[in-house]
Chains A and B, each alone.
Chain A
Amino acid sequence: MNSAKERLVNGIVKENPTFVLMLGMCPTLAVTTSAVNGLGMGLTTMAVLALSNVFISLLRNIIPDKVRIPAFIVIIASFVTVVELLLQGYIPFLYDSLGLYIPLIVVNCIILGRAEAYAYKNPVLPSLFDGIGMGLGFSVALTCIGAVRELLGAGEIFGIRVMPESFVPVSIFIMAPGAFFVLAILTAIQNKVKINGEKKGKDMSKIQSGCGNDCMNCSDTGCAHGLYGEKAGGTSGGQMKEGEKNG
């Protein structure tokens, strides 16, 4: 199960699709007007991502190389349709507030990116956890952005009033410019924490030369060893490909 855990951590922290890879910006900026919307969008995307990863991984030896992109799109679109109908049936308020952005999950580049970069080359189980990890990373990021925007723009989090009565909502934060502000600031904070962690990790590696090297079970997530080891490994190629796609 080591690879499963590694995939989850990778998706949520090291290659967080929103804050690190900067993928799927359209839903990120558009639907995060509140924490509930962010969470709903994240989880919906996660469901589609996990299912499509599993099926693409299962079919990876059957799909011809030349038509793989149309094949991916067909698989993804099928799952999006399923999820859309389920949402409409069982969580209508989320269906209404997300609106057009549910069918647009089909063209979310995180899903296509993971299909191309991971699921098409790897076995089923790691692909499933890769999808869940990436989806969770996306959900966490969208919920954070949504929570900050809701807090500043409406004084609430998940619809519960947290700011004092005298707080005047800064309504720019629930409009489009606010999405850019919050995304930029959260990304900057996350990078700052990472850089600090790497600095700390370097110092620690000098002091603790006899580290157990069990990076998977190491609690020090900011350790430079883990970060560089990961980058030097197999995923860096995939990351490059995604970057090209996004660009």
Chain B
Amino acid sequence: MSDLMKVSSNPHVRSKTDTSNIMLTVVIALLPAAGFGIYNFGLDALILILVTVASTVLTEFIFEKICKRKVTIGDYSAVVTGLLLAMNLPVSAPWWIGVVGGVFAILVVKMLFGGLGQNFMNPALGGRCFLLISFTSIMTNFDCDAYAGATPLANLKSGEAVDILDMVIGRTAGTIGETSMIAIVIGACILILMGVIDLRIPGSYIVGFVIFISLFGGHGFDWAYISAHLAGGGLMLGAFFMATDYVTRPITKNGQYLFGILLGILTGIFRIFGPSSEGVSYAIIIGNLLVPLIEKITLPTAFGKGGVRK
């Protein structure tokens, strides 16, 4: 009898998904883009990726050892941060850029605020923006063996013609992981099919961005111009892999739509009116800072409250 009567409190349905599963899925989903980056830019890209990942994991490990906390490198979140950060670096960056960025991302943005789940902005983007402000000339130098000169977005901004097919495949200058739209979309499909992310944030991000570009881009609804903007730069990587970060996105459904639209508008503003040709990282970071406000105004009414929010 006692075997049949199992008394327990809820939740009764448990999922086997945990942090390390999810993070591992994200790592796998990032591999196509990383692999294409290595194919595109050569072995230097591989070395930079390895150095950056090693620095993020080691920073987390050493910090937790020194502070005598539970070591959490087994949840792979530091690997994801390192990988994302490396994908946002230009291949010409020296190895210590990866180390400095990795240490800053983990130590300052993540661990000092309490570790995974407590960080108020995406650690990888925090690290990238730190590097971008500190070492502007290194971080915007996209010259390498394979490609010389500006990124397609910079060309687009200065009014030159761009080859959209090259941008979709990824045969362009840029940061290691952002160039190939195809590889990123493959990774995004893995994430969506595994149920790790859904299309709310990326979808509203892209739709918001397209609408903004059509209204203010100066080209009207010019499909070639819009697709060049979508395929170029870090928009795809940002929309699918960084804006959807569990910790720094809004948890309410309506909040996620609002968040995505906000990111689209901010990215459009930075790309069209800003001095630089790219603005995805800053847009997502500013969006991250606004998440508490977005959650506050989109808080759903509890059942039985009669629609009156108090």
Interface-side segment among A8-16, A32-40, A167-175, A219-227: A167-175
Contacts of B94-136 to chain A: CB distance below 8 A: 100, 108, 130, 133-136
Whether the pair A168, B130 counts as a contact (CB closer than 8 A) is no
Main SS at interface, chain A: helix
Residues of A within 8 A of B135 (CB): 168, 170-171
Whether the pair B133, A168 counts as a contact (CB closer than 8 A) is no
Residues of B within 8 A of A170 (CB): 100, 134-135
Whether the pair B136, A171 counts as a contact (CB closer than 8 A) is yes
Whether the pair A177, B133 counts as a contact (CB closer than 8 A) is yes
User: What is the minimal beta-carbon distance from B126 to any residue of chain A, in angstroms?
Assistant: 11
Whether the pair A171, B138 counts as a contact (CB closer than 8 A) is no
Whether the pair A168, B136 counts as a contact (CB closer than 8 A) is no
Whether the pair A172, B138 counts as a contact (CB closer than 8 A) is no
When C-beta atoms are compared, the residue in chain A nearest to B138 turns out to be A168
User: What is the minimal beta-carbon distance from A129 to any residue of chain B, in angstroms?
Assistant: 38
Contacts of A99-122 to chain B: CB distance below 8 A: none
Q: Which of B100, B108, B134 contacts A171 (CB 8 A)?
A: B134
Residues of B within 8 A of A177 (CB): 133
Cα(A181)–Cα(B133), bound, Å: 14
User: What is the minimal beta-carbon distance from A201 to any residue of chain B, in angstroms?
Assistant: 23
Interface residues on A, range: under 10
Cα(A168)–Cα(B135), bound, Å: 8
User: What is the minimal beta-carbon distance from A176 to any residue of chain B, in angstroms?
Assistant: 10
Q: Per-residue 0/1 for A143-170: is the Cβ within 8 Å of any B Cβ (1 yes, 0 no)?
A: 0000000000000000000000000101
User: What is the minimal beta-carbon distance from B70 to any residue of chain A, in angstroms?
Assistant: 22
Residues of A within 8 A of B138 (CB): 168
Q: Per-residue 0/1 for A169-194: is the Cβ within 8 Å of any B Cβ (1 yes, 0 no)?
A: 01111010100010000000000000
Residues of B within 8 A of A168 (CB): 135, 138
User: What is the minimal beta-carbon distance from B96 to any residue of chain A, in angstroms?
Assistant: 8
Cα(A75)–Cα(B100), bound, Å: 49
Residues of A within 8 A of B134 (CB): 170-173
When C-beta atoms are compared, the residue in chain B nearest to A169 turns out to be B134
When C-beta atoms are compared, the residue in chain B nearest to A152 turns out to be B134
Cα(A175)–Cα(B129), bound, Å: 13
Residues of A within 8 A of B108 (CB): 181
Residues of A within 8 A of B136 (CB): 171
Q: Which of B100, B133, B134, B135 has the most CB of A within 10 A?
A: B134
Residues of B within 8 A of A175 (CB): 133
Residues of A within 8 A of B133 (CB): 171-172, 175, 177
Cα(A168)–Cα(B130), bound, Å: 14
User: What is the minimal beta-carbon distance from B138 to any residue of chain A, in angstroms?
Assistant: 7
User: What is the minimal beta-carbon distance from A134 to any residue of chain B, in angstroms?
Assistant: 30
When C-beta atoms are compared, the residue in chain B nearest to A177 turns out to be B133
User: What is the minimal beta-carbon distance from A183 to any residue of chain B, in angstroms?
Assistant: 14
Cross-chain pairs A/B with CB under 8 angstroms, 16 sampled: A168-B135, A168-B138, A170-B100, A170-B134, A170-B135, A171-B133, A171-B134, A171-B135, A171-B136, A172-B130, A172-B133, A172-B134, A173-B134, A175-B133, A177-B133, A181-B108
In the complex, given contacts A171-B135, A175-B133, A177-B133, what are 13 additional A-B residue pairs having Cβ atoms less than 8 angstroms apart? A168-B135, A168-B138, A170-B100, A170-B134, A170-B135, A171-B133, A171-B134, A171-B136, A172-B130, A172-B133, A172-B134, A173-B134, A181-B108
Interface set of B (CB-CB < 8 Å, partner A)? 100, 108, 130, 133-136, 138
